[in-house]
Amino acid sequence: MHLVFGMRRTPPELPFAPSGHFTIGTFVPGRGLRGIAPISYHRKSYEGICAALVSGEFRPDVVITCATPPDEQGRRTLGGIVSYLDLAMARAGRVVVEEVAWLPYIAGSAPVPDDCEVLAVRPAPTGPTVGFSADHDEIDARVAAHIADLLPDRPRLALGIGRIPDALALSLAGRGDVEVLTGVVTEAVAGMAADGALADATIRSMSVVGPPSLLLWAAGADVVLSSSTTIQSPSWLGGQDRFVAVLGALSVDGAGNVNSERIGSRTVSGLGGAPDFARGAAASANGLCIVAVRSSDAHGKSRLVDVVEDPTLDGAWVGAVATEHGAVRLTGLRPAERRRALAAIF
């Protein structure tokens, strides 16, 4: 049996250790799965996962997920998610759900098959929830300020999970013209709504991830979920004017190629939707792919490197890079000009 995990904040409680008969893989290695060894990294973006499901390359036998309580017609949904799970459930032999008593329906959430098996009912949480990212600091705020200066009027913004995206959300308070078109709605997006950053437009995403308060907010707000086949489609995103993707990095080379997966030989994150958003933003009229990164790591080592091998993002998709020292636009620059421009902000 091969068990494939999606994004996790906390380690799973496994009944036994991985072995020759029981193996574990994931599309998103990271925080909740770092203690599991061995683990296989299935290196696909969300668009790639969808393509693998459609082609049959990836065909799950069982999908295990959370779901809402049944409505008056006895129907359940995934509550705050569509992602690629709509495709996975349609192709799986069995769908097993954990019913979450407090989980609301958010517009567009994927319906669960009527013949699903209900494994258990989870009550409302009683303790604090674990966030995906640590609190941002002054350096993150300076990076965010430089990103804000790059945004066009009325941007359609893809904002990910992390310290810099959280800081950026705060820096846009009162702006009033930001539309959200993103992979995941986080507490930062709810904060933007409260702070007057958002335009009067539907928030579009493939998921809402956070504490119960966030999902309950999204259920009552103008939030509409769609499948990864749309939200993570570079061609569809490229047709959205002023689409701006703000993406994180662990290192960048002089050509603008980006690594957001590896620290040394250790894989700490997955492709996620980054390549899909980057390609879409690069193709969008007045759009922009912005890579946001602190100039050095926790040990003071520069994140500007000679060469990024097997990059997460091709430098051709990257329109700008921002650090705490400034931001540079790379579009149209020759290779030597790119290297000099990047060296000035690292």
Q: Is the pLDDT of residue 126 over 70?
A: no
Q: What is the mean pLDDT of the chain?
A: 94
When pLDDT is cut at 50, 70 and 90, the band that residue 12 belongs to is: confident
The pLDDT of residue 30 is: 82
Name the residue type at position 183.
Answer: G
Pick from 280, 274, 198: nearest CA to 241:
280
Mean pLDDT score, 224-249: 97
**pLDDT at residue number 337:** 97
Least confident of 126-140, 173-187, 204-218, 245-259: 126-140
**Number of H helices and number of E strands within the chain?**
10, 19
Tell me whether the CATH fold assigned to 2-122 matches the one assigned to 138-343: yes
Query: Does the structure show a pLDDT above 80 at 177?
Result: yes
Q: With 90 as the cut, is the pLDDT of residue 273 above it?
A: yes
- Asked whether the predicted pLDDT for residue 334 surpasses 80, the reply is yes
pLDDT of residue 15: 77
Q: What is the pLDDT of residue 336?
A: 97
Residue 300 reports pLDDT greater than 80: yes
Distance CA(274)–CA(176), nearest Å, equals 26
Assigned CATH for 138-343:
3.40.1080.10
pLDDT of residue 36: 86
d(C-alpha 204, C-alpha 207), whole Å: 9
State residue 10's pLDDT score: 82
| Structure confidence by residue, pLDDT tens digits, 43-100 | 999 999 999 999 999 999 999 999 999 999 999 999 999 999 999 999 999 999 999 9
Helix axis angle for 138-150 and 163-171, nearest 10°, is: 60
Q: Is the per-residue pLDDT at 129 higher than 70?
A: no
Q: Where are the domains of the chain?
A: 2-122, 138-343
Q: Given a cut of 80, is residue 128 above it in pLDDT? A: no
Give the Å distances, CA to CA, from 343 to 125, 254, 336.
Answer: 47, 8, 11
Q: Please return the burial class of 247, using the count of CB atoms within 10 Å of its CB with bins 0-12, 13-18 and 19+.
A: buried
Does residue 180 contact residue 155 with C-beta atoms inside 8 Å?
no
Q: What is the mean pLDDT of residues 173-189?
A: 97
Q: Would you give the end-to-end CA distance of the chain in angstroms?
A: 46
Q: How far is CA 181 from CA 103, 158, 209, 240, in A?
A: 23, 5, 15, 10
Q: Both tokens of residue 19?
A: 């072995």
Rounded Cα–Cα distance for residues 165 and 167 (Å): 5
* pLDDT score for 130: 59
Q: Is the pLDDT of residue 37 over 90?
A: no
Q: What was the pLDDT predicted at 121?
A: 79
pLDDT at 64: 95
| pLDDT band for position 131 (cuts 50, 70, 90) | low
Instruction: With a cut of 80, say whether residue 120 has pLDDT above it.
Output: no
**CA contacts within 13 A on the Cβ side of 2:** 13
The highest-level CATH class for domain 2-122 is alpha beta
Residue-level length of the chain: 346
- Predicted confidence (pLDDT) at residue 133 exceeds the cutoff of 70: no
Q: Is the pLDDT of residue 324 over 80?
A: yes
pLDDT of 305-314, one tens digit each? 999 999 999 9
Query: Which is more confident, 31 or 104?
Result: 104
Q: Which of the four pLDDT bands, split at 50, 70 and 90, describes residue 319?
A: very high
Q: From CA 75, how far away is CA 198, in angstroms rounded? A: 33
Per-residue pLDDT band for 132 (boundaries 50, 70, 90) equals low
